[in-house]
């Protein structure tokens, strides 16, 4: 079975990760519109993109709006095998996500190659630890 990775962004990030991961895995890149409002309650995801995200083994979010990240996490954390959140500000946001029993590191470069998540191991074996600069 080919590992399917989906990267979702609402800004300028994620395209380099897509190019790198797409060389090794079946990868989709979904660009969402960044909300202008400071707070949002819901996001509109086209049906086509919903199906693509739900079919993923790994979902990586490069969303910069915290509400978009939170909504995506609530919608998909139990529909994909593994989810990586590539940006957040402060420990408070991480605390908001921790009730979903997700594994996450303070920064991605400290993720262990010995992760208990098989798809995470597959990603690390092919790419090495994820690093953000």
Q: Which CATH number does the domain housing residue 102 bear?
A: 3.40.50
Has residue 54 been placed in a domain? yes
Going from the C-alpha of 9 to that of each of 23, 30, 37, 59, 114, the distances in angstroms are: 19, 6, 17, 11, 27
The Cα 28–Cα 6 span in angstroms is 5
Range of the domain at 82: 4-127
Taking only the tens of pLDDT, the chain with its 133 residues reads 688 999 999 988 899 989 999 999 999 999 999 899 999 999 999 999 999 999 999 999 999 888 898 899 999 988 998 888 876 666 666 666 666 655 444 444 344 444 445 555 556 566 555 443 3
The Cα 45–Cα 32 span in angstroms is 8
pTM beyond 0.95: the answer is: no
Has residue 133 been placed in a domain? no
Q: How many domains does the chain have?
A: 1
């Amino acid at each position: 079975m080919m590992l399917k990775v989906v990267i979702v962004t609402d800004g300028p990030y994620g395209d380099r990760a897509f190019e790198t991961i797409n060389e090794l895995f079946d990868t989709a890149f979904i660009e969402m519109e960044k909300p202008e409002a400071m707070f949002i309650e819901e996001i509109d995801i086209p049906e086509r993109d919903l199906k693509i995200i739900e079919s993923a083994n790994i979902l990586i979010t490069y969303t910069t709006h915290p509400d978009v990240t939170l909504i995506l996490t609530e919608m998909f954390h139990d529909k994909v095998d593994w989810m990586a959140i590539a940006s957040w500000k402060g420990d408070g946001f991480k605390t908001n996500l921790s009730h979903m029993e997700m594994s996450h590191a303070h920064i991605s470069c400290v993720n262990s190659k010995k992760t208990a998540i098989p798809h995470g191991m597959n990603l690390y074996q092919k790419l090495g630890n994820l690093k953000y600069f």
